[in-house]
């Protein structure tokens, strides 16, 4: 069982580039697989989750060459060129892989089984299957979870209203819409990240966005799209937090994706009084990219709710660490979605931070965190959740004694190289 010991640290300094954005890496690989032509993907995230997508696509007959760990050449097979896999597709721990494949495979001319490891098999999949069935998809879950069986076939168009603002559910429906007999309109209850709409449009799909409605027309083809993946803002969150919390620190993160549907944490940190700035913003492959400059700051408590929750849904474990050092009571509400992530992130985050001396009260849809509270060292458990593992590692920078985080093998799911980058900035690991 892998573990990581972090010693209290100060004076983090320097600049660094982050691994490629996980959401965009999945989509660049998946969408180019069904495009016409050859696409070169650079700064691809070589984490376990994206490797799951790569493995599944190869099992579906797609040829992908790797020039190196972060550069791929995808030879698209076209919308109708996927082959029936010889065995169930293993999505390992990647919910994104499974949910996007559900939409893609619903309209194919063959049947597929999707499975994964124990952690993934606990996560809800009926929330994706039910809307797809409204388009005529034939799929069966195991009590609402995977393994699941997809009987490929013709799909109808129409309007689908989804109950949760989820980019994964929306993306599954948009992929199915490429194969439908008429237009598919997805109506969300609130905004979610829009990487799929941006990329599909850039590849020639007819995608129209109107408020919380997105409509996609059936497609004859997608054009291959070579892309340089921007740095992952969700991974940047851990280094941003490290610089805010560790005394006498100043850090610059280069070429980070700052899509406005993903920047809830930097925006909220500004509201808390953090010295953080977005610099040299520009567009790259349809996505906003910028440098992020951050330094040690005193924080005040805030309330997070509504649409902001969706814009920082992956960042709540590290946000909770930051909130333990903010003056006052920080309140998070409308975040019940955290209970069906890799772990129940409301329960596990509260449990582990309280073990370190924090004052975190879990609620049905969030937390109440009182601060500032000194944190003690010792031992904490990631529960196999990559984002909790990294959040606890950052907490170790300000504990009174060294902190050992157990079950840290999962960090590689989304942020290979995390320890090296943190060490390179001066953290004592």
Positions marked catalytic: 314
- The reply, when asked if residue 255 is annotated as ligand binding, is no
- The reply, when asked if residue 80 is annotated as ligand binding, is no
CA distance 327 to 59: 52
- The reply, when asked if residue 40 is annotated as ligand binding, is no
- The reply, when asked if residue 305 is annotated as ligand binding, is no
- The reply, when asked if residue 345 is annotated as ligand binding, is yes
- The reply, when asked if residue 95 is annotated as ligand binding, is yes
- The reply, when asked if residue 387 is annotated as ligand binding, is yes
- The reply, when asked if residue 99 is annotated as ligand binding, is no
- The reply, when asked if residue 27 is annotated as ligand binding, is yes
Binding site residue list for phosphoenolpyruvate: 22, 95, 123, 168, 345, 387
Binding site residue list: 22-23, 27, 95, 123, 166, 168, 314, 341, 345, 387
């Amino acid at each position: 069982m892998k573990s990581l010991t972090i010693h209290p640290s100060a004076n983090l300094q320097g600049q660094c580039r982050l691994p490629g954005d996980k959401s965009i890496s999945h989509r660049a690989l998946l969408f180019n697989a069904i495009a016409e032509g050859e696409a070169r993907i650079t700064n691809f995230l070589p984490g376990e989750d994206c490797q799951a997508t790569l493995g599944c696509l190869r099992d579906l007959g797609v040829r992908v060459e790797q020039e190196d760990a972060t550069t791929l050449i995808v030879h698209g097979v076209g919308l109708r060129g996927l082959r029936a896999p010889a065995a169930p597709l293993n999505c390992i721990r990647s919910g994104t892989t499974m949910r996007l494949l559900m939409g893609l495979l619903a309209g194919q001319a063959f049947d597929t089984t999707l499975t994964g490891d124990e952690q993934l098999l606990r996560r809800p999949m009926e929330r994706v299957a039910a809307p797809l069935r409204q388009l005529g998809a034939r799929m069966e879950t195991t009590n609402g979870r995977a393994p699941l069986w997809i009987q490929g076939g013709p799909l109808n168009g129409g309007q689908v209203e989804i109950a949760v603002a989820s980019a994964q559910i929306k993306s599954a429906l948009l992929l199915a819409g490429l194969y439908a007999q008429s237009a598919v309109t997805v109506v969300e209850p609130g905004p979610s990240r829009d990487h799929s709409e941006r990329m599909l449009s850039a590849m020639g799909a007819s995608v129209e966005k109107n408020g919380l409605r997105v409509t996609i027309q059936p497609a004859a083809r997608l054009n291959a799209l070579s892309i340089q993946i921007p740095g992952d803002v969700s991974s940047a969150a851990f280094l941003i937090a490290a610089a805010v919390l560790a005394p006498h620190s100043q850090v610059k993160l280069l070429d980070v994706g700052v899509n406005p549907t993903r920047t809830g944490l930097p925006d909220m940190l500004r509201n808390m009084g953090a010295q953080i700035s977005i610099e040299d913003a520009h567009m790259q492959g349809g996505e906003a990219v910028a440098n992020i400059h951050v330094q040690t700051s005193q924080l005040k408590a805030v309330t997070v709710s509504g649409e902001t929750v969706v814009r920082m849904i992956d960042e709540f474990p590290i946000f909770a660490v930051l909130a333990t050092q903010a003056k006052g009571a920080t309140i998070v509400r409308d975040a019940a979605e955290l209970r069906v992530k890799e772990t129940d992130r409301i329960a596990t985050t509260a449990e582990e931070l309280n073990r370190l001396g924090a004052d975190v009260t879990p609620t049905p849809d969030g937390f109440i965190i009182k601060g500032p509270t000194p944190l003690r060292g010792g031992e904490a458990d990631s529960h196999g959740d990559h984002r909790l593992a990294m959040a606890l590692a950052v907490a170790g920078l300000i504990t009174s004694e060294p902190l050992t985080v157990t079950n840290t093998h999962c960090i590689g799911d989304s942020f290979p190289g995390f320890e090296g980058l943190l060490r390179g900035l001066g953290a004592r690991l």
